Amino acid sequence: MDTKKRIDQLSTELLRHQYLYNVKNEPEISDLEYDRLFDELLNLEEQNPQYASENSPTKRVGSDLDNTFPEKEHTIPVLSLDKEYTGEGLEKWVAKTMGKAGKNIGFVVEEKIDGASIVLYYKMGRLDNALTRGNGLVGNDVTENIRTIKQIPLITGETSDFAVRGEIFISKSDFENYNRKFENRYSNPRNLAAGSLRNIKSSVVAQIPMNILVYEGYFRENTANDHISILRRLKDLNFKINPNTAFFCADSESVSLTKNKFPEIATGSIDELSAYVKERMKTRETLDYDIDGLVIKINEIDVRENLGYTSHHPRWATAFKFDAPTAQTIVENIRIQVGRNGRVTPVATLKPVRIAGSTVSRATLHNQEYIEILELGTGDRVDISKRGDIIPAVDKVIDKNSENPSVFKFPGTCPFCLSVLIKDGAHHFCKNRECPERIKRSIIYFVAKDQMDIDTIGKKTIDFLFSKGFIKNIPDIYKFNYDRLLQEEGYKEKKVENIKKSIEKSKTQPFSRVLAALGFDGLGKAAVSDLIKNGFDSIDKIISAAAKRDIEIFSDIEGFGETTARLLIDHFNDRENLEKIEELKKIGLNFKEEARVETGIPAVFAGQLWVITGSFENFNPRSKAAKEIEKRGGRVSTSVSSKTTHLLSGSSPGSKLEKARKQKSAIINEAQFSDMLK
């Protein structure tokens, strides 16, 4: 047999076995036999690359070449769904829709899979491309990654062009296993699925157990009269259809016809629809994949067309959502924030909304990948949630902005200094130390309550002083002549006096605060206190140790890794940093830890690392509790890590409690804590 023929034969055979194994769960051959055929094909393709098709079953293993995800236009409208939150609302919708149709119509109820939406385009029976939803008009081409999902047919028996909509998802159990490989980066299976679709290496994607269920088909030729027939046709083309689908109609003949066409699905008369929906709500937790509701669709295609569409959703379908979301609002703007250490954080400005007792108007978007996973743009309606005491997060786009749908593009350069942003891990960084925004942020950090506590100059005042050029760096805080402000609007004598007083007072802050206030990467409060405890109780000692450039001097300190040690050596050999320190020393700031005043309190918390969360009756603000811990030789940190030994947990503790439990830290409540202090 000639090589090309054999390659075609093997491809067809292997694709059939992939389908039998992955979709039908009815393999016909052993794994060993399968591998033998697969290897034969792989060999032939390697030796005869001119015959290797892009839809070959060998493409399922992906490639190590970097993928790009160019934008492509959808050729079908990719609309969203209207929604109902109550059984009553749903019943009304069904009655209203039946009235509009003017005849007995059938309703198909499907699960609303909570995954990543995908549109598959087939040409001459072969998968041509796969696009994400994007803004509904234009999506990202993720075809190479989609090819690795073995439940998706690459070649079908349908010769005319068609498109399929479906949901890519990962089962709950697979999520638990695989998220670990990504250092638990993804908060739920949906985000892992959406993130994986955009992984630049398809060979990595091939390792992730992604799955698909398809729910809409758009055929060019021999289009069916009803949705059930379309699902039937898709199933016959080897697509995976959700068996948890049901059909309801007042016309019993229509019910039995449907039963014949698609025996796997449940059927019933129209007045059984509500009870079915309620029952499915209850059994939701028993599924091994996430659903966030049900979708109720009209079966008849002609009725669908008559009812038509809004710019955002079809009038012939609605989603019945299980949970009223924590809060919904509109993203008014997306801005890029640059922190003092250059880390770039995209932030959404929201239309203010009440959530869990407070008004929220901003939410973090973490990083570029997060925005891409959400496919988020300005004007979109979103679900937001607030977990623990962290800043609220945007969880999901519910509706794209209908007038001007877009997906936010991460800038290539820093919006404040125009230097090129550099990606390091999950985040982008502005590496320009002269960046005005970074400098301004470092000043804001320096004066903040937890650092030098200069409470008369907050963010607004610094914005002003900085924009006027009065203060250009940290030492300027102490060098500027504040009497100059009397010429500015809103600065009366009293106010200026107060500023001068609090700046003077800040000079008495202890060395530990001064050092942490300088905001060097890796040198937070906890690290500073470790340094001091290990004998590095003056800046001179630290600088001369760093000058030796011996990592071990610092990495030997308990709790310090090599990374922190390296950072310290860099910071304290840097000329600019040393000049800044020298200047502040001259100004009179403390660069040496005063000998500890003997408190007479035994160090019962020595060696312990505490985190404090929630609110307290007798330790308000929480820093009161922190002081008590530190007085007794313990340390306090702001976030739970594997090193956390104790969590002091007040009322409304937030996510830290959960995390501390997982880390098996001791959980202490206020009463127990008060006892320990005695």
Please give the positions annotated as active site: 112
Q: Examine residue 113 and tell whether it contacts ligand IVH (CB under 6 A).
A: yes
**Cβ atoms 629, 623 nearer than 8 A:** no
CB of residue 133 to ligand IVH, shortest distance in Å: 6
The site that binds ligand IVH (CB under 6 A) totals a number of residues, namely 15
- Segment interacting with ligand IVH, rule: CB under 6 A, options 109-117, 230-238, 385-393, 433-441: 109-117
Which of 69, 198, 77 lies closest to 129 in space, CA to CA?
Answer: 69
Kindly tell me which of 158 and 167 has the beta carbon lying closer to ligand IVH.
167
Q: Binding mask 299-318 vs ligand IVH (x if CB under 6 A, - otherwise)?
A: ---------------x--x-
Q: What residues between 546 and 605 interact with ligand IVH by CB under 6 A?
A: none
Nearby residues of 543 by Cβ (< 8 Å), 6 or more positions away? 572, 578, 581
Site for ligand IVH in 214-243 (CB under 6 A): 215-216
Residue type, 376: L
Question: Which of left, alpha, beta for 251 (phi over 0: left; psi -120 to 50: alpha)?
Answer: beta
- Selected from 17, 59, 133, 340, the binder of ligand IVH by CB under 6 A is 133
Site for ligand IVH contains 14 (CB under 6 A): no
Contact window for ligand IVH (CB under 6 A) among 106-114, 453-461, 501-509, 662-670: 106-114
Grouping H, G, I as helix, E, B as strand and the rest as coil, residue 385 is: strand
**Nearer residue to ligand IVH within complex by CB, 71 or 574:** 71
Task: Report CA-CA distances (Å) from 533 to 37, 148, 557, 624.
Answer: 65, 54, 9, 21
Instruction: Please provide the DSSP assignment of 318-342 as one string.
Output: EEEESS--SEEEEEEEEEEEE-TT-
DSSP β-ladder status, 266-268 and 246-249? parallel
Contact between 152 and ligand IVH by CB under 6 A: the answer reads no
Q: Which is nearer to ligand IVH, 215 or 560 (CB)?
A: 215
What radius of gyration do the chain's Cα atoms show? 31
Between 5 and 220, name the residue whose CB sits nearer to ligand IVH: 220
Nearer to ligand IVH, 113 or 640 (CB): 113
Residue reference for tokens 């399968």: 34
Each as own residue / partner, the long-range contacts of residues 614-623 (CB below 8 Å, 24 or more positions apart, any chain) are 614/649, 614/650, 614/651, 614/652, 614/653, 614/654, 614/657, 615/650, 615/651, 615/652, 616/650, 616/651, 616/670, 617/670, 618/670, 618/674, 619/650, 619/670, 619/673, 622/650
Residue placing its CB nearer to ligand IVH in the complex, 117 or 456:
117
Secondary structure (3-state) at 119 = strand
What residues between 365 and 424 interact with ligand IVH by CB under 6 A? none
User: Which one, 80 or 254, has the nearer CB to ligand IVH?
Assistant: 80
Query: Considering only residues 84, 110, 158, 369, which one is a binding residue for ligand IVH as defined by CB under 6 A?
Result: 110
With CB under 6 A as the contact rule, the residue among 41, 277, 295, 363 that binds ligand IVH is: 295
Maximal C-alpha separation, the chain = 98
Under the binding rule (CB under 6 A), the answer on residue 447 touching ligand IVH is: no
Binding status of residue 84 toward ligand IVH by CB under 6 A:
no
Minimum distance from residue 374 beta carbon to ligand IVH (Å):
13
Q: Does 112 bind ligand IVH (CB under 6 A)?
A: yes
Distance, CA of 215 to CA of 238 (rounded, Å): 13
Across-strand partners of 330?
Answer: 381
For ligand IVH, the binding residues in 162-181 under the rule CB under 6 A are: 167
Taking CB under 6 A as the binding criterion, the range among 73-81, 86-94, 436-444, 501-509 that sits at the site for ligand IVH is 73-81
Pattern of binders to ligand IVH over 265-294, x per CB under 6 A? ------------------------------
Cα distance between residue 298 and residue 304, in whole Å: 7
Task: Work out whether 319 is an interface residue with ligand IVH (CB under 6 A).
Answer: yes
Nearer of residues 80 and 506 to ligand IVH, judged by Cβ:
80
Residue 319 beta carbon to ligand IVH: minimum distance, rounded to whole angstroms: 6
DSSP letter assigned to residue 401: -
Q: How far is the CB of 584 from ligand IVH (least distance, A)?
A: 55
Binding window for ligand IVH (CB under 6 A); candidates: 110-118, 380-388, 482-490, 551-559: 110-118
Q: Which residue is nearest to ligand IVH (CB)?
A: 117
Kindly tell me which residue out of 11, 56, 97, 117 binds ligand IVH, with binding defined by CB under 6 A: 117
Q: Which two tokens stand for residue 85?
A: 């939150």
Residue with Cβ nearer ligand IVH (317 or 546): 317
Q: How far is the CB of 463 from ligand IVH (least distance, A)?
A: 41
Beta bridge partners of 106: 249
> What is the torsional sign of CA 280, 284, 287, 292?
positive
CA–CA dist 640, 655 (Å, integer): 10
From the number of C-beta atoms within 10 Å of its C-beta (0-12, 13-18, 19+), residue 379 rates as middle
Residues lying near ligand IVH in the complex (CB under 6 A) are found at 79-81, 110, 112-113, 117, 133, 167, 215-216, 295, 314, 317, 319
